[in-house]
């Protein structure tokens, strides 16, 4: 099933359970090489979401601000983006260019991500592809400027969203996690993987 919400192209259950497990295994290997950490916001408050990344770039934030970085905060390289995720990008976007970053966000029950834009990438003509695993997350999407009406949709395990065109610079966030809605992650919670072209 495809749902189009203001240019956000949502493919419900794009990944069946076997493929969700394959991606999950690959992300576990990423997290062994590059452990999850909890960034501080530029205001100095710890985020409720834990993060790590794969690819040439990952994302980091502290009192100096938000930015892409070429190393894990522990000092090591980010591991390569797993083929299971590159295959999703090839299928939905093509192979003229592959993503150079896969951000991995982990939400426990109670974690959320406030409305924000993703605009630290060099070229907004490339879409962002998002893969959801585990518990349902309530995704909210707004407009290219702050304020105005928003629309919300639950993202479930296996759902893939392509944000391109006018949706690429829209404000968006995650308001809440529905604990216990999926059995994919033994300890519960939600993983979101975003594939991006950064430079």
**Contacting positions for ligand MD3 (CB under 6 A):** 103, 105, 113, 118, 128, 130, 137, 139, 161, 163, 167-168, 170, 172, 174, 192, 194
Nearer to Fe ion, 145 or 183 (CB): 145
Beta partners for 24? none
Asked if residue 111 lies in contact with residue 49, where contact means CB atoms within 8 angstroms, the answer is yes
Q: What is the DSSP letter of 78?
A: P
The partner in contact with residue 195, picked from Fe ion, ligand MD3, none with C-beta cut-offs of 5 to 8 angstroms by kind, is none
77-106: contacts with Fe ion (CB under 5 A): none
For the chain, the C-alpha Rg in angstroms (whole number) is 16
Nearer to ligand MD3, 75 or 189 (CB): 189
State the minimum distance, in angstroms, from the CB of residue 113 to ligand MD3: 6
Residue keyed to tokens 């105005």: 148
State the minimum distance, in angstroms, from the CB of residue 90 to ligand MD3: 19
**118 binding Fe ion? (CB under 5 A):** yes
Alpha carbons 66 and 56: distance in angstroms, whole number: 17
Other beta carbons within 10 Å of 17: 12
Distance of CA 158 to CAs 67, 101, 121, 170, Å? 28, 20, 26, 23
The partner in contact with residue 170, picked from ligand MD3, Fe ion, none with C-beta cut-offs of 5 to 8 angstroms by kind, is ligand MD3
State the minimum distance, in angstroms, from the CB of residue 161 to ligand MD3: 5
Q: What is the largest CA-CA distance in the chain?
A: 42
Nearer to Fe ion, 183 or 192 (CB): 192
Site of interaction with Fe ion (CB under 5 A): 118
């Amino acid at each position: 099933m495809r749902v189009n919400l203001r240019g956000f192209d949502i493919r419900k259950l794009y990944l069946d359970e076997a493929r969700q497990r394959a991606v999950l295994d690959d992300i576990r290997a990423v997290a062994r090489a590059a452990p999850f950490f909890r960034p501080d916001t530029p205001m100095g408050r710890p985020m409720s979401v834990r993060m790590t990344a794969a690819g040439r770039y990952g994302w980091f934030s502290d009192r100096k601000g938000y930015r892409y970085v070429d190393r894990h905060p522990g000092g090591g390289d980010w591991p390569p983006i797993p083929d299971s995720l590159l295959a999703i990008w090839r299928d939905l976007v093509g192979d003229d260019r592959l993503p150079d970053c896969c951000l991995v966000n982990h939400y426990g029950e109670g974690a959320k991500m406030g409305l924000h834009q993703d605009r630290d990438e060099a070229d907004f003509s490339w879409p962002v592809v998002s893969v959801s695993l585990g518990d349902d997350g309530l995704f909210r999407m707004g407009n290219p400027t702050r304020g105005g009406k928003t629309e919300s949709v639950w993202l479930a395990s296996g759902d893939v969203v392509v944000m391109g065109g006018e949706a690429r610079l829209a404000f968006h966030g995650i308001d809440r996690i529905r604990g216990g809605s999926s059995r994919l992650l033994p300890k519960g919670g939600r993983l979101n993987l975003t594939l991006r072209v950064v430079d």
